[in-house]
Copies of this chain bind each other. A is one copy, B any other.
Amino acid sequence: NKGLKSKVMNVAECIKKTGKDDPRRVIHSFKVGLALTLVSLFYYSRPLYNGFGVAGMWAVLTVVVVFEFTVGGTLSKGINRGCATLLAGALGIGGQHLATAFGKRGEPVVLGALVFILAAGATFMRFFPRIKARYDYGVVIFILTFSLVTVSGYRVTQLFQLANQRLATILIGGATSMLVSIFISPVWAGEDLHNLVASNIDKLANYLQGFEQEYFHCSEDKEKSKSALLQGYKSVLGSKASEESLANLARWEPGHGRFRFCHPWKQYLKIGALARECAYKIETLNTYLNSEIQECLEFKCKVEEPCKIMSSESSKALKAISSSMKAMTAPSAAKCHIENSKTAAKLLKITLETISVDDAELIAIIPTATIA
Protein backbone atom coordinates (compact mmCIF):
# COMPACT_ATOMS: atom_id res chain seq x y z
CA ASN A 1 0.00 0.00 0.00
CA LYS A 2 2.79 2.40 0.92
CA GLY A 3 4.72 1.39 -2.16
CA LEU A 4 1.71 2.25 -4.28
CA LYS A 5 1.31 5.63 -2.60
CA SER A 6 4.93 6.60 -3.18
CA LYS A 7 4.65 5.47 -6.78
CA VAL A 8 1.60 7.67 -7.32
CA MET A 9 3.46 10.55 -5.69
CA ASN A 10 6.39 9.91 -8.03
CA VAL A 11 4.18 10.02 -11.10
CA ALA A 12 2.49 13.20 -9.87
CA GLU A 13 5.88 14.81 -9.35
CA CYS A 14 6.95 13.75 -12.82
CA ILE A 15 3.80 15.25 -14.37
CA LYS A 16 4.35 18.50 -12.51
CA LYS A 17 7.96 18.68 -13.62
CA THR A 18 7.17 17.99 -17.27
CA GLY A 19 4.54 20.73 -17.24
CA LYS A 20 6.80 23.20 -15.47
CA ASP A 21 9.80 22.60 -17.73
CA ASP A 22 7.82 23.89 -20.67
CA PRO A 23 4.30 25.20 -20.00
CA ARG A 24 3.61 25.15 -23.73
CA ARG A 25 3.29 21.38 -23.42
CA VAL A 26 0.13 21.72 -21.36
CA ILE A 27 -1.32 24.19 -23.85
CA HIS A 28 -0.40 21.87 -26.70
CA SER A 29 -2.30 19.00 -25.09
CA PHE A 30 -5.42 21.14 -24.82
CA LYS A 31 -5.02 22.26 -28.42
CA VAL A 32 -5.01 18.64 -29.61
CA GLY A 33 -8.14 17.96 -27.57
CA LEU A 34 -9.82 21.03 -29.03
CA ALA A 35 -9.00 20.16 -32.65
CA LEU A 36 -10.27 16.61 -32.17
CA THR A 37 -13.50 17.79 -30.60
CA LEU A 38 -14.06 20.29 -33.41
CA VAL A 39 -13.58 17.63 -36.04
CA SER A 40 -15.85 15.12 -34.32
CA LEU A 41 -18.66 17.65 -34.74
CA PHE A 42 -19.02 16.01 -38.15
CA TYR A 43 -20.55 13.02 -36.52
CA TYR A 44 -22.79 14.88 -34.13
CA SER A 45 -24.46 17.34 -36.51
CA ARG A 46 -26.85 15.60 -38.90
CA PRO A 47 -26.42 17.81 -42.01
CA LEU A 48 -22.66 17.39 -42.02
CA TYR A 49 -22.88 13.66 -41.43
CA ASN A 50 -25.28 13.21 -44.32
CA GLY A 51 -22.79 14.90 -46.62
CA PHE A 52 -19.75 12.82 -45.73
CA GLY A 53 -20.95 9.67 -44.02
CA VAL A 54 -18.38 7.31 -42.58
CA ALA A 55 -15.63 9.15 -44.47
CA GLY A 56 -15.76 11.71 -41.63
CA MET A 57 -13.58 9.19 -39.83
CA TRP A 58 -10.67 10.31 -42.01
CA ALA A 59 -10.92 13.81 -40.61
CA VAL A 60 -10.43 12.44 -37.08
CA LEU A 61 -7.56 10.26 -38.24
CA THR A 62 -5.86 13.19 -39.96
CA VAL A 63 -6.03 15.42 -36.90
CA VAL A 64 -4.53 12.77 -34.63
CA VAL A 65 -1.67 11.97 -36.98
CA VAL A 66 -0.92 15.46 -38.30
CA PHE A 67 -1.07 17.59 -35.16
CA GLU A 68 2.49 18.16 -33.97
CA PHE A 69 4.06 20.24 -31.22
CA THR A 70 5.48 22.93 -33.52
CA VAL A 71 3.69 24.85 -36.27
CA GLY A 72 6.35 23.72 -38.72
CA GLY A 73 5.73 20.07 -37.88
CA THR A 74 1.97 20.41 -38.33
CA LEU A 75 2.31 22.30 -41.61
CA SER A 76 4.91 19.86 -42.95
CA LYS A 77 2.78 16.82 -42.15
CA GLY A 78 -0.46 18.44 -43.28
CA ILE A 79 0.90 19.60 -46.62
CA ASN A 80 2.69 16.30 -47.16
CA ARG A 81 -0.47 14.38 -46.42
CA GLY A 82 -2.68 16.55 -48.63
CA CYS A 83 -0.39 16.48 -51.66
CA ALA A 84 0.41 12.78 -51.32
CA THR A 85 -3.26 11.86 -51.04
CA LEU A 86 -4.14 13.91 -54.12
CA LEU A 87 -1.33 12.43 -56.20
CA ALA A 88 -1.80 8.84 -55.03
CA GLY A 89 -5.58 9.08 -55.43
CA ALA A 90 -5.26 10.21 -59.03
CA LEU A 91 -2.67 7.53 -59.81
CA GLY A 92 -4.76 4.91 -58.04
CA ILE A 93 -7.87 5.68 -60.10
CA GLY A 94 -5.70 5.57 -63.23
CA GLY A 95 -4.26 2.20 -62.20
CA GLN A 96 -7.76 0.90 -61.53
CA HIS A 97 -8.88 1.91 -65.03
CA LEU A 98 -5.81 0.24 -66.50
CA ALA A 99 -6.49 -2.98 -64.62
CA THR A 100 -10.11 -3.27 -65.74
CA ALA A 101 -8.87 -3.38 -69.34
CA PHE A 102 -7.33 -6.79 -68.59
CA GLY A 103 -10.66 -8.50 -67.95
CA LYS A 104 -12.11 -10.22 -64.91
CA ARG A 105 -9.24 -12.67 -64.56
CA GLY A 106 -6.33 -10.36 -65.21
CA GLU A 107 -7.54 -7.54 -62.98
CA PRO A 108 -6.34 -8.78 -59.57
CA VAL A 109 -2.99 -9.82 -61.06
CA VAL A 110 -2.40 -6.40 -62.61
CA LEU A 111 -3.54 -4.65 -59.42
CA GLY A 112 -1.24 -6.79 -57.30
CA ALA A 113 1.72 -6.09 -59.58
CA LEU A 114 1.02 -2.35 -59.57
CA VAL A 115 0.84 -2.24 -55.76
CA PHE A 116 4.00 -4.28 -55.45
CA ILE A 117 6.02 -2.10 -57.85
CA LEU A 118 4.88 1.24 -56.51
CA ALA A 119 5.22 0.23 -52.86
CA ALA A 120 8.73 -1.14 -53.40
CA GLY A 121 9.80 1.92 -55.41
CA ALA A 122 8.38 4.43 -52.96
CA THR A 123 9.86 2.58 -49.98
CA PHE A 124 13.26 2.73 -51.64
CA MET A 125 12.85 6.46 -52.18
CA ARG A 126 12.55 6.90 -48.42
CA PHE A 127 16.24 6.02 -48.09
CA PHE A 128 17.39 9.14 -49.96
CA PRO A 129 18.55 11.56 -47.26
CA ARG A 130 16.86 14.56 -48.88
CA ILE A 131 13.48 12.90 -49.22
CA LYS A 132 13.84 11.39 -45.78
CA ALA A 133 14.33 14.81 -44.20
CA ARG A 134 11.43 16.61 -45.83
CA TYR A 135 8.96 14.29 -47.50
CA ASP A 136 9.18 11.04 -45.54
CA TYR A 137 5.63 11.27 -44.26
CA GLY A 138 4.32 12.18 -47.69
CA VAL A 139 5.83 9.04 -49.23
CA VAL A 140 4.26 6.83 -46.55
CA ILE A 141 0.87 8.39 -47.20
CA PHE A 142 1.41 7.98 -50.93
CA ILE A 143 1.95 4.22 -50.56
CA LEU A 144 -1.00 3.98 -48.21
CA THR A 145 -3.49 5.88 -50.38
CA PHE A 146 -2.39 4.25 -53.60
CA SER A 147 -2.79 0.74 -52.19
CA LEU A 148 -6.14 1.58 -50.60
CA VAL A 149 -7.58 3.17 -53.73
CA THR A 150 -6.46 0.50 -56.20
CA VAL A 151 -7.37 -2.37 -53.90
CA SER A 152 -10.73 -0.92 -52.85
CA GLY A 153 -11.54 -0.27 -56.49
CA TYR A 154 -11.77 -4.01 -57.01
CA ARG A 155 -14.81 -4.20 -54.73
CA VAL A 156 -16.27 -0.73 -54.36
CA THR A 157 -18.19 0.53 -57.37
CA GLN A 158 -18.38 4.27 -56.71
CA LEU A 159 -14.63 4.68 -56.48
CA PHE A 160 -14.54 8.27 -57.67
CA GLN A 161 -17.04 9.43 -55.10
CA LEU A 162 -15.17 7.55 -52.37
CA ALA A 163 -11.86 9.17 -53.27
CA ASN A 164 -13.53 12.56 -53.46
CA GLN A 165 -15.13 12.26 -50.02
CA ARG A 166 -11.93 11.04 -48.49
CA LEU A 167 -9.86 13.85 -49.92
CA ALA A 168 -12.38 16.43 -48.70
CA THR A 169 -12.39 15.07 -45.16
CA ILE A 170 -8.60 14.87 -45.08
CA LEU A 171 -8.42 18.49 -46.19
CA ILE A 172 -10.88 19.48 -43.47
CA GLY A 173 -8.93 17.59 -40.82
CA GLY A 174 -5.64 19.02 -42.00
CA ALA A 175 -6.98 22.57 -42.18
CA THR A 176 -8.45 22.32 -38.67
CA SER A 177 -5.10 21.15 -37.29
CA MET A 178 -3.15 23.89 -39.05
CA LEU A 179 -5.50 26.66 -38.02
CA VAL A 180 -5.59 25.60 -34.37
CA SER A 181 -1.83 25.13 -34.41
CA ILE A 182 -1.13 28.58 -35.89
CA PHE A 183 -3.73 30.74 -34.20
CA ILE A 184 -3.89 29.39 -30.65
CA SER A 185 -0.60 30.23 -28.91
CA PRO A 186 1.64 28.84 -31.67
CA VAL A 187 4.96 27.09 -31.01
CA TRP A 188 7.31 28.13 -33.82
CA ALA A 189 10.12 25.71 -34.62
CA GLY A 190 12.13 28.62 -36.02
CA GLU A 191 11.95 30.57 -32.80
CA ASP A 192 12.91 27.46 -30.84
CA LEU A 193 15.91 26.96 -33.10
CA HIS A 194 16.94 30.60 -32.69
CA ASN A 195 16.71 30.37 -28.90
CA LEU A 196 18.43 26.99 -28.76
CA VAL A 197 21.47 28.21 -30.70
CA ALA A 198 21.68 31.43 -28.69
CA SER A 199 21.39 29.62 -25.37
CA ASN A 200 24.03 27.11 -26.46
CA ILE A 201 26.48 29.94 -27.02
CA ASP A 202 25.46 31.33 -23.64
CA LYS A 203 26.25 28.01 -21.99
CA LEU A 204 29.75 28.00 -23.49
CA ALA A 205 30.30 31.52 -22.16
CA ASN A 206 29.14 30.40 -18.72
CA TYR A 207 31.56 27.54 -18.81
CA LEU A 208 34.55 29.73 -19.61
CA GLN A 209 33.57 32.06 -16.81
CA GLY A 210 33.21 29.18 -14.38
CA PHE A 211 36.42 27.55 -15.58
CA GLU A 212 38.46 30.62 -14.81
CA GLN A 213 37.20 30.69 -11.23
CA GLU A 214 37.50 26.97 -10.71
CA TYR A 215 40.97 26.54 -12.13
CA PHE A 216 42.71 29.45 -10.50
CA HIS A 217 40.93 29.94 -7.20
CA CYS A 218 39.99 26.40 -6.17
CA SER A 219 37.63 27.79 -3.56
CA GLU A 220 35.17 25.37 -2.00
CA ASP A 221 32.49 27.84 -0.95
CA LYS A 222 30.30 28.17 -4.02
CA GLU A 223 30.81 24.59 -5.12
CA LYS A 224 27.26 23.98 -6.25
CA SER A 225 26.53 27.09 -8.28
CA LYS A 226 29.81 26.66 -10.09
CA SER A 227 29.34 23.05 -11.00
CA ALA A 228 25.99 24.01 -12.52
CA LEU A 229 27.80 26.58 -14.65
CA LEU A 230 30.36 23.97 -15.60
CA GLN A 231 27.88 21.24 -16.53
CA GLY A 232 25.77 23.38 -18.86
CA TYR A 233 27.96 22.87 -21.89
CA LYS A 234 27.36 19.09 -21.87
CA SER A 235 23.98 19.50 -23.53
CA VAL A 236 25.64 21.42 -26.38
CA LEU A 237 27.66 18.33 -27.31
CA GLY A 238 24.60 16.32 -28.34
CA SER A 239 22.50 19.14 -29.81
CA LYS A 240 23.09 18.23 -33.46
CA ALA A 241 20.01 16.07 -34.00
CA SER A 242 17.55 18.49 -32.41
CA GLU A 243 19.00 21.46 -34.28
CA GLU A 244 18.68 19.68 -37.59
CA SER A 245 15.12 18.58 -37.04
CA LEU A 246 14.10 22.07 -35.91
CA ALA A 247 15.73 23.61 -39.00
CA ASN A 248 13.86 21.13 -41.19
CA LEU A 249 10.56 22.08 -39.60
CA ALA A 250 11.31 25.82 -39.58
CA ARG A 251 11.55 25.74 -43.36
CA TRP A 252 7.81 24.99 -43.58
CA GLU A 253 6.74 27.89 -41.42
CA PRO A 254 5.32 31.17 -42.75
CA GLY A 255 6.80 34.48 -41.60
CA HIS A 256 6.13 35.20 -37.94
CA GLY A 257 7.29 37.81 -35.46
CA ARG A 258 10.83 38.86 -36.23
CA PHE A 259 11.37 36.08 -38.77
CA ARG A 260 10.40 36.38 -42.40
CA PHE A 261 9.49 33.45 -44.65
CA CYS A 262 12.70 31.94 -46.07
CA HIS A 263 14.71 33.11 -43.09
CA PRO A 264 18.23 31.68 -43.58
CA TRP A 265 17.71 28.74 -41.26
CA LYS A 266 20.75 26.93 -42.64
CA GLN A 267 22.99 29.60 -41.12
CA TYR A 268 21.80 28.48 -37.69
CA LEU A 269 23.06 25.00 -38.42
CA LYS A 270 26.48 26.44 -39.26
CA ILE A 271 26.60 28.48 -36.07
CA GLY A 272 25.40 25.43 -34.16
CA ALA A 273 28.17 23.30 -35.66
CA LEU A 274 30.78 25.89 -34.66
CA ALA A 275 29.34 26.05 -31.15
CA ARG A 276 29.58 22.27 -30.99
CA GLU A 277 33.19 22.32 -32.12
CA CYS A 278 33.84 24.82 -29.38
CA ALA A 279 32.10 22.52 -26.91
CA TYR A 280 34.33 19.61 -27.94
CA LYS A 281 37.32 21.71 -27.03
CA ILE A 282 35.75 22.65 -23.74
CA GLU A 283 35.12 18.97 -23.07
CA THR A 284 38.86 18.40 -23.40
CA LEU A 285 39.55 21.40 -21.24
CA ASN A 286 37.19 19.99 -18.65
CA THR A 287 39.21 16.81 -18.21
CA TYR A 288 41.97 18.97 -16.78
CA LEU A 289 39.67 20.08 -14.01
CA ASN A 290 38.59 16.55 -13.21
CA SER A 291 41.96 14.86 -13.47
CA GLU A 292 43.84 14.45 -10.25
CA ILE A 293 47.13 15.44 -11.80
CA GLN A 294 48.17 18.73 -10.25
CA GLU A 295 50.51 21.06 -12.03
CA CYS A 296 53.28 22.74 -10.13
CA LEU A 297 52.16 26.07 -8.72
CA GLU A 298 54.95 27.90 -10.44
CA PHE A 299 53.55 26.99 -13.84
CA LYS A 300 50.09 28.06 -12.76
CA CYS A 301 51.32 31.46 -11.61
CA LYS A 302 53.07 32.07 -14.88
CA VAL A 303 50.04 31.49 -17.04
CA GLU A 304 47.43 32.88 -14.68
CA GLU A 305 47.31 36.46 -15.92
CA PRO A 306 46.94 35.91 -19.69
CA CYS A 307 44.74 32.87 -19.23
CA LYS A 308 42.37 34.78 -17.02
CA ILE A 309 42.07 37.64 -19.45
CA MET A 310 41.67 35.27 -22.32
CA SER A 311 38.91 33.16 -20.82
CA SER A 312 37.02 36.10 -19.40
CA GLU A 313 37.26 38.03 -22.66
CA SER A 314 36.18 35.04 -24.76
CA SER A 315 33.36 34.50 -22.33
CA LYS A 316 32.32 38.14 -22.71
CA ALA A 317 32.59 37.86 -26.48
CA LEU A 318 30.37 34.79 -26.54
CA LYS A 319 27.87 36.49 -24.22
CA ALA A 320 27.81 39.52 -26.51
CA ILE A 321 27.27 37.31 -29.54
CA SER A 322 24.41 35.44 -27.94
CA SER A 323 22.69 38.58 -26.69
CA SER A 324 23.05 40.29 -30.06
CA MET A 325 21.61 37.16 -31.63
CA LYS A 326 18.65 37.36 -29.32
CA ALA A 327 18.14 41.03 -30.21
CA MET A 328 18.97 40.28 -33.87
CA THR A 329 21.54 43.05 -34.21
CA ALA A 330 25.11 43.01 -35.47
CA PRO A 331 27.52 41.90 -32.74
CA SER A 332 29.63 45.06 -32.53
CA ALA A 333 30.38 44.76 -28.82
CA ALA A 334 31.78 41.28 -29.33
CA LYS A 335 34.49 42.47 -31.68
CA CYS A 336 36.50 44.37 -29.10
CA HIS A 337 36.28 41.45 -26.69
CA ILE A 338 37.60 39.15 -29.38
CA GLU A 339 40.45 41.57 -30.04
CA ASN A 340 41.24 41.64 -26.32
CA SER A 341 41.28 37.90 -26.01
CA LYS A 342 43.38 37.56 -29.13
CA THR A 343 46.08 39.78 -27.68
CA ALA A 344 45.88 37.84 -24.42
CA ALA A 345 46.32 34.61 -26.36
CA LYS A 346 49.38 36.04 -28.07
CA LEU A 347 50.77 37.04 -24.71
CA LEU A 348 50.19 33.56 -23.43
CA LYS A 349 51.92 32.08 -26.43
CA ILE A 350 54.95 34.17 -25.80
CA THR A 351 54.97 33.03 -22.19
CA LEU A 352 54.56 29.41 -23.02
CA GLU A 353 55.89 28.89 -26.52
CA THR A 354 53.57 25.94 -26.72
CA ILE A 355 50.11 25.79 -28.13
CA SER A 356 47.42 26.07 -25.53
CA VAL A 357 44.07 24.42 -25.84
CA ASP A 358 42.43 27.77 -25.24
CA ASP A 359 44.09 29.04 -28.32
CA ALA A 360 42.53 26.44 -30.54
CA GLU A 361 39.24 27.34 -28.94
CA LEU A 362 39.69 30.94 -29.89
CA ILE A 363 40.15 29.98 -33.50
CA ALA A 364 36.72 28.45 -33.39
CA ILE A 365 35.20 31.56 -31.86
CA ILE A 366 36.22 34.01 -34.54
CA PRO A 367 34.21 32.51 -37.43
CA THR A 368 31.19 32.30 -35.13
CA ALA A 369 31.33 36.02 -34.72
CA THR A 370 31.71 36.75 -38.39
CA ILE A 371 28.68 34.66 -39.30
CA ALA A 372 26.41 36.02 -36.60
Identify the A interface with B (CB < 8 A).
Answer: 14-15, 18-19, 22, 25-26, 28-30, 32-34, 36-37, 40, 43-44, 49, 54, 57, 60-61, 64-65, 108, 111-112, 115-117, 119-121, 123-124, 127-128, 140, 143-144, 147-148, 151-152, 154-156, 237-238, 240-241, 276-277, 280-281, 283-284, 287-288, 291, 293, 295-296, 299, 353-355, 357, 360, 363
A148 contact from B44, B57, B287, B293, Cβ within 8 A: B57
Bound-complex Cα distance A116 to B37 (A): 6
Complex A-B: 8 CB contacts under 8 Å: A28-B123, A32-B119, A32-B123, A40-B115, A64-B143, A65-B144, A284-B357, A296-B353
Q: What's the Cα separation between A237 and B276 when bound, in Å?
A: 10
> Which residues of B are found within 8 Å of A295, using beta-carbon distances?
354-355
Contact A37 B293 (CB under 8 A): no
Bound state CA distance, A143 and B36, in angstroms?
10
Q: Are A140 and B360 in contact (CB under 8 A)?
A: no
Residues of B within 8 A of A277 (CB): 283
Instruction: Please determine whether B357 and A36 come into contact, CB atoms closer than 8 angstroms.
Output: no
Evaluate contact between A120 and B33: CB separation under 8 angstroms.
yes
Find out whether the CB atom of A123 lies under 8 angstroms from the CB atom of B33: yes
Known: A14-B128, A26-B124. A36 touches B148 (CB 8 A): no
| Residues of the B chain whose Cβ atoms lie less than 8 Å from the Cβ of A283 | 277, 280-281
| A238 / chain B contacts, CB cutoff of 8 Å | 240-241
Q: Is the pair B57, A152 in contact by a Cβ cutoff of 8 Å?
A: yes
B280 touches A237 (CB 8 A): yes
A110-B330 Cα distance, complex, nearest whole Å = 56
- For A142, the closest partner residue in chain B by CB is B64
Q: Hey, which chain B residues are within 8 Å of A61, CB to CB?
A: 144, 148
**In the complex, the 10 A-B pairs of residues with the closest C-beta atoms, listed nearest first:** A33-B120, A241-B241, A33-B116, A29-B124, A44-B108, A29-B123, A29-B120, A287-B360, A280-B280, A284-B284
Most-contacted residue by chain B among A15, A34, A116, A156 (CB, 10 A) = A116
The answer for the CA separation of A61 and B119 in the assembled complex, in Å, is 13
Assembled-state Cα–Cα distance A30/B122 (Å): 10
B64 in contact with A33 (CB, 8 Å): no
Considering only CB atoms, which chain B residue lies closest to A240 in the complex? B238
Residues of B within 8 A of A37 (CB): 112, 115-116, 119
Q: Please indicate the chain B residues that have their CB under 8 angstroms from the CB of A144 in the complex.
A: 60-61, 64-65
Cβ 8 A contact of A49, one of B43, B155, B287 = B155
Cβ-defined partner of A240 (8 Å) among B115, B128, B241? B241
A40 to B107, CA, bound (A): 13
A240 and B276 CA atoms in complex are apart in Å by 14
In-complex Cβ contact of A280 among B111, B284, B363 (8 A): B284
A237 partner residues in chain B, CB cutoff 8 A = 276, 280
Nearest chain B residue, comparing its CB with the CB of A154:
B43
B108 touches A151 (CB 8 A): no
Chain B residue at minimum C-beta to C-beta distance from A299: B354
Which residues of chain B are within 8 angstroms of A284 by Cβ–Cβ distance?
280-281, 284, 357, 360
Q: Report B-chain residues with C-beta under 8 Å of the C-beta of A116.
A: 33-34, 36-37
With A and B bound together, what is the CA distance between A238 and B61 in angstroms?
A: 35
